[in-house]
A and B are shown apart, each in its own frame.
Chain A
Amino acid sequence: MGRFSVRSVLLGLVAPVGALVFAALVCALILALTGNPPLDTVDAMATAAQRPRTLVNSLNSATQYYLAAVAVAIGFKMKLFNIGVDGQYRLAAMLSAALAGAAFMDGVPPFLRVAMTIVAAMLVGAAWSGLAALLKVTRGVSEVISTIMLNAIATYLVSYLLNPARLAENVPGSNNIGTRPITEGGQVPGIDYPGSTSKIFGLVFLAVLVGVVYWFVLSRTRFGFELKATGLSESAAVASGVSVQKMVVWSMLLSGAVAGLVGMPQLLGSSHSYSLDFPPGLGFIGIAVALLGRNHPVGMAVAALLWGFLDNAANALDVSGVPREIVLIMQGVIVLSVVVAYELVRRYRVRAEQRDVGRALGRTKTLEEVSA
Chain B
Amino acid sequence: MSTESAAGGDPAPAVELSGITKRFPGVVANSDVDITVRAGTVHALVGENGAGKSTLMKILYGMQRPDDGTIAVAGEPVSFASPADAIRAGIGMVHQHFMLADNLTVLENVVLGSEPRAGVRLDFAAARARVREISDAYGLGVEPDRLVDDLGVGERQRVEILKVLYRGARTLILDEPTAVLVPQEVDELFGNLRDLKAEGLTILFISHKLDEVLAVADDITVMRRGTTVASVSPREVTARKLAELMVGSALPVPELRESTVTDRPVLAASGLTVTSADGRKVLDDVSFTIHAGEVLGIAGVEGNGQAELVEALMGIRVPSAGSVHLAGADITRLSTKRRREAGMGYIPEDRHRQGVLLEASLWENRVLGHQTRKPNARGPLLDRRGAKADTQRIVEQYDVRTPGIDVHAAALSGGNQQKLIVGREMSGNPVVLIAAHPTRGVDVGAQAAIWEHIRRARAERLAVLLISADLDELIGMSDTLAVILRGRLVADHDPSTVTPEQLGSAMTGAGRES
Contact = CB atoms under 8 A, between A and B. Distances in A.
A is bound by B: yes
Interface of A: 1, 4-5, 219-226, 228-229, 232-233, 235-236, 238-243, 350-351, 353-354, 356-358, 360-361, 363-367, 370-371
A235 B353 CA distance: 6
A361 B403 contact: yes
Interface string B22-34: 0101001001101
Given A224-B382, A357-B402, A367-B229, A239 B355 contact: yes
Given A220-B381, A350-B408, A239 B348 contact: yes
B348 A229 contact: no
B407 to A, nearest CB: 6
15 contacts: A4-B406, A221-B381, A225-B371, A229-B368, A233-B353, A233-B357, A233-B358, A236-B355, A238-B336, A239-B314, A241-B338, A353-B408, A364-B32, A366-B227, A371-B230
The SS class assigned to the B binding surface is: mixed
A226 B382 CA distance: 11
B81 interface: no
A366 B353 contact: no
A228 B360 contact: yes
Interface in B303-346: 314-316, 335-341, 346
B139 interface: no
A363 B31 contact: yes
Contact of A351 (B23, B354, B384): B23
Contacts of B23: 351, 354
Given A232-B360, A356-B403, A364 B382 contact: no
Nearest to B337: A241
B348 A366 contact: no
Contacts of B354: 233, 235-236, 238-239
Nearest to B404: A1
A358 B346 contact: no
Interface in B235-251: 245
Contacts of B338: 241
B290 to A, nearest CB: 20
B273 interface: no
B335 A243 contact: yes
A364 B227 contact: yes
Nearest to B67: A351
Given A241-B336, A350-B410, A353-B408, A361 B348 contact: no
Contacts, number: 135
A107 B181 CA distance: 90
B231 interface: yes
Given A241-B340, A354-B410, A221 B380 contact: yes
Interface of B: 23, 25, 28, 31-32, 34, 224-231, 245, 314-316, 335-341, 346, 348, 350, 353-360, 364, 367-372, 377, 380-382, 384, 401-404, 406-408, 410-412
Contacts of B231: 367
Contacts of A363: 31-32
A354 B368 CA distance: 22
Nearest to A232: B357
Query: Lowest 10 CB-CB distances: which A-B pairs, in order?
Result: A241-B337, A360-B403, A240-B369, A241-B336, A239-B354, A353-B411, A232-B357, A357-B411, A235-B353, A370-B229
Nearest to A362: B401
Contacts of B339: 241
A81 to B, nearest CB: 19
Contacts of B28: 354, 358
B30 to A, nearest CB: 10
Given A1-B406, A243-B336, A367-B230, 10 more contacts: A220-B382, A225-B367, A233-B356, A233-B358, A238-B316, A239-B369, A241-B372, A354-B23, A354-B25, A370-B245
A236 B357 contact: yes
A47 B384 CA distance: 47
A4 B227 contact: no
A141 to B, nearest CB: 18
Contacts of B402: 357, 360-361
B314 to A, nearest CB: 7
Contacts of A226: 371
Contacts of A1: 404, 406
B45 to A, nearest CB: 14
B253 to A, nearest CB: 22
Contacts of A356: 403, 407, 411
A367 B228 contact: yes
Nearest to A5: B406
A138 B458 CA distance: 42
Contact of B31 (A235, A364, A367): A364
A321 B236 CA distance: 86
A239 B336 contact: yes
Contacts of B357: 229, 232-233, 236
Nearest to B412: A357
